């Protein structure tokens, strides 16, 4: 009996940790129904693949994604940057490893322009090895990494939407209303 308990203890401990830490399967977006209907507004420089990945992830989480004119909330994505830099050099001064990094700025506002999430920069990076003798395969690997980084950015963006519950949105609206009253027509910021 004691050996059975000691064998099961690590499993039970792991199950308790997973349950207690808020573990959630990938693809199941924890976005509140409070931010629906939602439009994803992508800046001109944003890759279509990233914008589509965010929308797909939201839909997977049963978020109603609509066009901008029908939305109560706007998720704005802008200022996308992708950089690739050598992170390891061989003895022959040739790049042996690269770091691929993507960054995007996100914000969330209501249809009547009340900010819910101020501009936040989100980034993700990945390191890959480079072999000059196999350039085609390395280009495919870089393309796969770009897709992986898009997925990670989308997950981080959706994670930032999680705190937007009905109560939080109401509090943010009240704060914005109070700030507007305090700045009235005779008061300048």
DSSP string, 106-163: EEEEETT--EEEEEEEEEEEEEEE--GGGHHHHHHHHHHHHHHHHHHHHHHHHHHHTT
List, for residues 2-27, the tens digit of each pLDDT value.
555 555 555 545 555 554 444 444 54
Q: Where are the domains of the chain?
A: 28-166
Residue 57 confidence (pLDDT)? 93
List, for residues 99-151, the tens digit of each pLDDT value.
889 999 999 999 999 999 999 999 998 887 666 666 555 677 778 888 899 99
Residues 155 and 140: their CA atoms lie apart, in Å, by: 23
Structure-token pair, residue 69: 């004119």
Question: What average pLDDT does range 45-56 have in this prediction?
Answer: 93
Structure-token pair, residue 185: 């027509």
Q: Which CATH architecture has domain 28-166?
A: 2-Layer Sandwich (3.30)
Residue 171 confidence (pLDDT)? 92
Provide the mean pLDDT of the chain.
80
Residues 135 and 126: their CA atoms lie apart, in Å, by: 18
């Amino acid at each position: 009996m004691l050996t059975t308990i000691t064998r099961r203890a690590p499993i039970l401990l792991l199950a308790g940790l997973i349950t207690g830490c808020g573990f959630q399967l990938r693809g199941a977006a924890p976005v509140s129904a409070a931010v629906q209907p939602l439009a994803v507004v992508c800046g001109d420089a944003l890759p279509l693949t990233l914008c589509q990945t965010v929308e797909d992830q939201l839909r997977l989480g049963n978020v109603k994604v609509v066009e901008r004119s029908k939305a109560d909330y706007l998720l704005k994505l802008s200022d996308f940057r992708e950089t690739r830099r050598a992170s390891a050099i061989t003895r022959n001064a040739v790049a042996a490893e690269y770091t691929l990094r993507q960054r995007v700025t996100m914000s969330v506002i209501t249809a009547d322009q009340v900010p819910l999430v101020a501009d936040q920069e989100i980034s993700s990076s990945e390191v890959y090895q480079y072999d000059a003798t196999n350039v085609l395969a390395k280009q495919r690997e870089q393309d796969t990494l770009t897709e992986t980084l898009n997925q990670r950015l989308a997950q981080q963006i959706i994670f930032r939407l999680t705190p937007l519950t009905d109560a939080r949105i109401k509090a943010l609206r009240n704060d914005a209303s109070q700030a507007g009253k305090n700045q009235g027509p005779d008061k300048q910021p």
